[in-house]
């Protein structure tokens, strides 16, 4: 900007000096020419009277040469005497015989008409620019000839050249002074502007606290600087508000359990919260500007969003996505209308657990109904038979009563398991964990099941280390876990096989495993093995007695004690259930730390 101001001022000064030069030289030339014409006219009129007198006296033709020379010498100019036919009678600067007719000269034409004629042109004979002035020679009230006086303009041009040199010298001084003053003025003007531009650049880079030091400036620059500082302060406040709102929005979006997607009117991604990024396996930073279909790769969701963009109406629908597992979502798509833009916001609520819970509830009700109906139907049938007269036969009577007793015990066990499972799920009725000798509890469970295992011709291998650290558990719950796992292993293992109960420990946990040599569990059944009433082979339900709640109880009991249970199985070779329980020392240290 300083350069532009300096160049502009210098161009104005230069233009002014040139214009002034042309004006002054033009005026001086016109003034000098006017003075010169007046002088020549005065001399020419005197010469015209002398020539008129000579013509009246009838001078000899050769006398005209001398007269022209005499007049030219006295006037200090070139004098030419011309007759009415344009013939040169005498010339002070050349021989008359050598000169052409002057009849066509403009000043001669004017003089022959009785007027004073003037002309400025280049003289080919004298090789210089000349001013020609011609006056008529009046004889008896008529034009008898012409006297022309010519003077070189070299003096006039010399004065003009001198004037131009003076103007150029003066102009150069003025130009330099003006340049210096302009440079200083431009610097004083542009330096604050440069500082304003520098501060504006720093603010543009995110340094919103930068301000101008406006106290050392005056005038309009100070007003501009103060306005700039006010604008910067307002901008800083606005940016802080936007940043706070952005962080709040990011926190809200990040803390949402629901997945949220926002697109513009063209279906290009604007917002993708972390749950949505995790759901579709993409990065939030890599989705901006990409089309929705490129990110979600689900036509159903794309068509829902597209319908909202086209129609501008809210849509609610349930969709099933495979990401990669099957998941159920309740999708709520709402049009997004701003002042100058349109778009849509889609919220995906994961309903997979809800649907699974509903399915499990339906299956639980159906299974409970079935499990209760089976013994009740059996009891009712045998009672009806006995009432029909079979009670009179002692052998039949005792056999039927035995069956009724077994079914009643089975029904009682089912109800007890259901009640226990209900208490565990409601976190009621379970004691606080205490340090427990895991080996002693396992040994007690083995003793309780020894008879049943012997009846099935199954061998129990007890593999516990000599010194096993105590676990922080509920003793009765741990005993129930061992009973259920060992009993389950015996039921699903053929006669003549062995069941191993093994214990190991690491720095934080005691791990107890029950290993059988049964038929094994198919891989697709492993995720559901701990569900209530779930049976791998429903065809063997009558062959393998039980309530179908044993493993579900194991899972809930272990979870309630802060442990984990896992299963590994291979078809035809058997299964291994492993329970990991927190060591008493570790749990107590954690309690002290807290």
- Say whether pLDDT at 60 is over 60: yes
- Residue 331 zone, left/alpha/beta (φ > 0; ψ -120 to 50; rest): beta
Separation between Cα atoms, residue 442 and residue 479, nearest integer Å: 7
For the stretch 368-412, pLDDT in tens is 676 677 778 878 887 888 787 777 777 777 888 888 887 788 778
Largest Cα separation within the chain, whole Å, is 201
Closest CA to 116 of 152, 148, 151: 148
- Say whether pLDDT at 503 is over 90: yes
Q: Are 160 and 29 in contact (CB under 8 A)?
A: yes
The pLDDT, as a whole number, for residue 439 is 93
* 427 DSSP assignment: T
Structure-token match 């009415």, residue found: 84
Give the pLDDT mean for 166-177. Answer: 79
Across 147-151, 414-418, 439-443, 553-557, the highest mean pLDDT is recorded for 439-443
Closest CA to 269 of 252, 250, 245, 293: 293
Separation between Cα atoms, residue 350 and residue 319, nearest integer Å: 10
Across 199-213, 246-260, 287-301, 497-511, the highest mean pLDDT is recorded for 497-511
The pLDDT, as a whole number, for residue 593 is 47
The pLDDT, as a whole number, for residue 582 is 94
518-541 CB burial, b ≥16 within 10 A, e <16? bbbbeeebeeebbbbbbebeeeee
**CATH code of the region 2-159:** 3.30.450.20
For the segment(s) 355-424, the CATH number from 1.10.760.10, 3.40.50.180, 1.10.287.130, 3.10.180.10 is 1.10.287.130
Q: Select the more confidently predicted residue: 470 or 15.
A: 470
Angle separating helix axes 154-204 and 2-57, nearest 10 degrees: 170
Q: Are 453 and 460 in contact (CB under 8 A)?
A: yes
Closest CA to 157 of 76, 36, 18: 36
Closest CA to 148 of 60, 98, 75, 95: 75
Separation between Cα atoms, residue 557 and residue 562, nearest integer Å: 9
Percent of the chain whose predicted confidence (pLDDT) is above 70: 88
Q: Kindly report the average pLDDT of the chain as a whole number.
A: 81
For the stretch 202-222, pLDDT in tens is 888 888 788 777 666 777 777
Which residues of the chain does CATH 3.30.565.10 include?
433-593
- Say whether pLDDT at 594 is over 60: no
Phi, psi angles (nearest 5°) of residue 68: -65, -40
Identify the CATH homologous superfamily for domain 256-350.
PAS domain (3.30.450.20)
Structure-token match 């796992």, residue found: 485
The pLDDT, as a whole number, for residue 589 is 47
| Residue 104: pLDDT band with limits 50, 70, 90 | confident
User: DSSP 3-state assignment of 498?
Assistant: strand
Q: Select the more confidently predicted residue: 485 or 415.
A: 485
For the stretch 15-53, pLDDT in tens is 777 787 777 777 777 777 778 888 888 888 888 888 888
Closest CA to 350 of 407, 270, 431, 279: 279
Phi, psi angles (nearest 5°) of residue 459: -100, 135
CATH architecture observed for domain 433-593: 2-Layer Sandwich (3.30)
Neighbours of 443 (CB within 10 A): 15
Separation between Cα atoms, residue 281 and residue 275, nearest integer Å: 10
Q: How far are the Cα atoms of 402, 528, 544, 559 from residue 514, in angstroms, in the given order?
A: 33, 19, 19, 18
Separation between Cα atoms, residue 564 and residue 580, nearest integer Å: 5
What ranges make up the beta strands (E) of 222-272? 259-264, 269-272
> What end-to-end distance do the CA atoms of the chain give, in Å?
69
The pLDDT, as a whole number, for residue 435 is 93
Residues ≥6 apart with Cβ < 8 Å to 36: 131, 151, 156
The pLDDT, as a whole number, for residue 537 is 60
What is the token pair recorded at 298? 């689900």
Which residues of the chain does CATH 3.30.450.20 include?
2-159, 256-350
Provide the β-strand partners of residue 583. Answer: 471
- Say whether pLDDT at 591 is over 80: no
What is the token pair recorded at 27? 């005026």
């Amino acid at each position: 900007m300083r350069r532009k101001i300096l160049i502009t001022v210098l161009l104005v000064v230069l233009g002014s000096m040139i214009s002034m030069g042309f004006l002054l030289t033009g005026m001086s030339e016109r003034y000098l020419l006017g003075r010169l014409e007046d002088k020549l006219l005065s001399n020419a009129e005197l010469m015209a009277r002398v020539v008129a007198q000579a013509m009246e006296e009838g001078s000899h033709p050769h006398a005209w040469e001398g007269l022209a020379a005499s007049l030219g010498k006295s006037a200090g100019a070139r004098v030419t005497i011309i007759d009415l036919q344009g013939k040169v009678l005498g010339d002070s600067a050349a021989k008359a015989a050598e000169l052409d007719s002057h009849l066509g000269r403009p000043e001669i034409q004017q003089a022959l008409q009785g007027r004073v004629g003037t002309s400025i042109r280049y003289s080919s004979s004298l090789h210089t620019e000349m001013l020609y002035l011609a006056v008529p020679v009046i004889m008896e009230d008529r034009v008898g000839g012409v006297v022309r006086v010519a003077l070189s303009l070299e003096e006039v041009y010399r004065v003009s050249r001198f004037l131009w040199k003076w103007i150029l010298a003066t102009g150069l001084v003025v130009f330099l002074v003006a340049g210096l003053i302009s440079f200083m003025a431009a610097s004083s003007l542009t330096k604050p502007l440069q500082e304003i531009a520098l501060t504006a650049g720093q603010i543009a880079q995110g340094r919103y606290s930068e301000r101008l030091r406006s106290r050392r400036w005056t005038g309009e620059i100070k007003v501009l600087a103060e306005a700039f500082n006010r604008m910067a302060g307002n901008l800083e406040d606005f940016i802080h508000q936007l940043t706070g709102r952005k962080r709040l929005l990011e926190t809200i979006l990040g803390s949402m359990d629901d997945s949220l997607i926002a697109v513009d009117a063209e279906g290009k991604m604007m917002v993708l919260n972390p749950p949505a990024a995790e759901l579709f396996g993409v990065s939030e930073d890599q989705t901006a500007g990409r089309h929705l279909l490129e990110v979600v790769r689900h036509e159903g969701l794309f068509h829902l969003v597209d319908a909202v963009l086209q129609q501008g109406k809210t849509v609610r629908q349930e969709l099933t996505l495979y990401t990669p597992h099957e998941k159920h979502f309740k999708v709520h798509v709402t049009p997004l209308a701003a002042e100058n833009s349109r778009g849509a916001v889609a919220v995906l609520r994961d309903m997979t657990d809800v649907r699974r819970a509903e399915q499990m509830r339906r299956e639980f009700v159906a299974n409970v109904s079935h499990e209760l109906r089976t013994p009740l139907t059996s009891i009712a049938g045998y009672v009806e038979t006995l009432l029909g007269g079979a009670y009179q036969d002692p052998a039949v009577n005792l056999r039927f009563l035995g069956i009724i007793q077994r079914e009643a015990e089975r029904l009682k066990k089912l109800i007890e398991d259901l009640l226990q499972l209900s208490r565990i799920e409601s976190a009621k009725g379970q004691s606080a964990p205490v340090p427990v000798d895991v080996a002693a509890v396992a040994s007690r469970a083995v003793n309780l099941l020894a008879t049943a295992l012997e009846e099935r011709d199954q061998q129990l291998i007890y593999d516990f280390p000599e010194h096993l650290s105590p676990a922080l558990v509920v003793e009765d719950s741990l005993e129930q876990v061992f009973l259920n796992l060992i009993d389950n292993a015996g039921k699903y293992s053929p006669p003549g096989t062995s069941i191993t109960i093994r214990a190991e420990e690491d720095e934080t946990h005691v791990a107890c495993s029950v290993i059988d040599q049964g038929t094994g569990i198919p891989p697709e059944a492993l995720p559901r093995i701990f569900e209530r009433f779930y049976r791998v082979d429903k065809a063997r339900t009558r062959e393998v007695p039980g309530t179908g709640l044993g493993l579900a109880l194991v899972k809930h009991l272990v979870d309630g004690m802060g442990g984990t249970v896992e299963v590994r199985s291979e078809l035809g070779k058997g299964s291994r259930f492993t329970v990991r329980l927190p060591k008493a020392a570790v749990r107590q240290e954690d309690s002290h730390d807290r």
